[in-house]
Amino acid sequence: MELDGKVAIITGAARGQGAAAARRFVEEGARVVVADLLDDEGAACVAALGASARYRHLDVSSESGWDELVAETVADLGALDVLVNNAGVLHFSALVDTTLADYERVIRVNQVGTFLGMRAAARVMGPGASIVNLSSVEGIAGMPYVIAYTASKFAIRGMTKVAALELGPRGIRVNSVHPGMIDTKMVQDAIGGHEVDLSPVTRKLALQRIGRAEEIAELVLFLAGDRSSYSTGSEFVADGGSLATHALNVGAGG
């Protein structure tokens, strides 16, 4: 199995992309720490995964929380081989309407959380370890009304490269994953829980559909394991073709 014997921490893993990655990691032989703020959903996720998974409450913006989680993981499971920084939040608002509090909240979770996770993990990881940071297509190109989210995802892309350069001599790889529109609750949560009609978005995509969390999980699995042993400091995009176009293209369905 691809991750046989490896120990992984996945943040934001109570549901969505993180939970899909946790399932695949367990299927491939890993022992997984599911870290999240959603205690009930996290406990349910772990119950479904079985004995190879455990849930731990984590605020990714907490420095002490990260230090405690990593220390506990190594003490209990013997190592930390893979870190997936998946936790993230989204906030919609125009630049002129974005409050400092809203901007800082997104940065604290998405950017600072990734920084703290990488730092804590790098202190204990050994050769062959892998860090996978979830960025976004908004970490490669901008989109209106998500200035804080875009700033945080560009930062993750840059931090990934710095970490790869610093940790490469120790045999630790660091890569970023850039999903497009994926069928999770992130957009719904960001607009207050309302249902969203995404059909106008799908018509602009080369594949004409929204992505699935399981599809991102396969890419994360590849980067976590030895099949990607010569990949580090790189961006891996899974976006249905959203970055293949430009502003003057109305889309195949338009």
Active site residues: 149
CA angle 36, 211, 90 (to 5 degrees): 45
Identify the three-state secondary structure at position 231: coil
Query: Residues near 155 by Cβ (< 8 Å), separated by ≥ 6?
Result: 107, 110, 111, 114
In 10 A of CB 100, how many CB atoms?
Answer: 8
Q: Are 172 and 82 in contact (CB under 8 A)?
A: no
- In the structure encoding, which two tokens stand for residue 20, read together? 């899909």
Nearest to 130 by CA among 19, 15, 12, 25: 25
